[in-house]
Structure 1
Amino acid sequence: MEWFLKVVKDNYTNFNGRARRKEYWMFFLINMIISIVIGFIGGLIKFPLLATIYSVAILLPSIAVGIRRMHDVGKSGWYILIPIYNIILAATEGDRGSNEYGADPKGGENEDPFAGQRDPNNPFINS
């Protein structure tokens, strides 16, 4: 839920920068769950417009996180308009380190996890 709130509260219309895979797909998952629940509730109370209101409210953050996801793989935000290829890009690991769209959102997570932790007595870490 924190990833959904990060997109909605902190980056509502932020089209700049990069969004890592986890941010994008967790937002997508939570958004789908909320959409289903709101659709169900709207059907129960005979107010189907409720789902439409939610969809319109979440439209800009959905586009923004999609564009930032394309930026993470080094592509222009316009790539979200290409069917199927945009899903492939959304599932692809982002560029390591900085690219033209900003710093790596994973920070140091893309670096060697054993850097600086070599142990002369452990042959598995030294290889």
Structure 2
Amino acid sequence: MEYFLHVLRNYAVFNGRARRKEYWMFVLFNILFSMAAGIADYSLFGSGSGAISGLYSLAVLIPSLAVGVRRLHDVGKSGWFTLILFVPLVGAIWLLVLYCTEGTDGSNEYGPNPKAELAY
């Protein structure tokens, strides 16, 4: 949960690096909260509304992009590699591989190694 809150505190920070653990813990809690919002939508408004889950998705859009860019920085790629998603099928697979790849050891052009800092 601390990683999720760390990403939300750095709401629109697109510079620096994010560890794999930070990224995937954010994704895990994001999925759990999205499911909870969907259940709340269904129980409060019935099927088809999506008001709560839509607001939640809008609220975490920028932090999701920011942590994804920081994750790409950790493997030494530019944040613009996020746009590879627009290549059908292959782009999503390539981006998933980049998100799963271990970050570069030591400092790179995007900042110091986040494993060495362990600030949280």
* TM-score in terms of structure 1 length: 0.82
Aligned residue number for residue 58 of structure 1: 60
Tell me if 1:100 matches 2:109.
Answer: yes
Secondary structure of 1:25's aligned partner: helix
Aligned residue number for residue 2 of structure 1: 2
User: How do 1:1-127 and structure 2 match up within 5 A?
Assistant: 1-9=1-9, 11-46=10-45, 47-82=49-84, 83=91, 84-107=93-116
Structure 2 gaps of 5+ residues are 85-90
Secondary structure of 2:60's aligned partner: helix
| Whole-Å separation in 1 of the counterparts to 2:116 and 2:57 | 32
Identical amino acids, percent of aligned pairs = 54
Secondary structure of 1:30's aligned partner: helix
| Whole-Å separation in 2 of the counterparts to 1:33 and 1:2 | 15
| Whole-Å separation in 1 of the counterparts to 2:19 and 2:117 | 13
Give the 4+ runs in structure 1 shifted more than 6 A. Answer: none
**Structure showing greater relative contact order (alpha-carbon pairs closer than 8 Å, 6 or more residues apart):** 2
* TM-score in terms of structure 2 length: 0.86
- What whole-Å deviation, never above 9, does each CA across 1:8-44 have from its counterpart, x for those lacking one? 02x1000000000000000000000000011111111
Specify the code of the residue in structure 1 equivalent to 2:83: L
Secondary structure of 2:16's aligned partner: coil
Q: If each structure's helix is expressed as a fraction of its own residues, which one has the higher value?
A: 2
Structure 1 gaps of 5+ residues are 110-127
| Whole-Å separation in 2 of the counterparts to 1:95 and 1:80 | 18
The CA RMSD measured in Å over matched residues stands at: 1.3
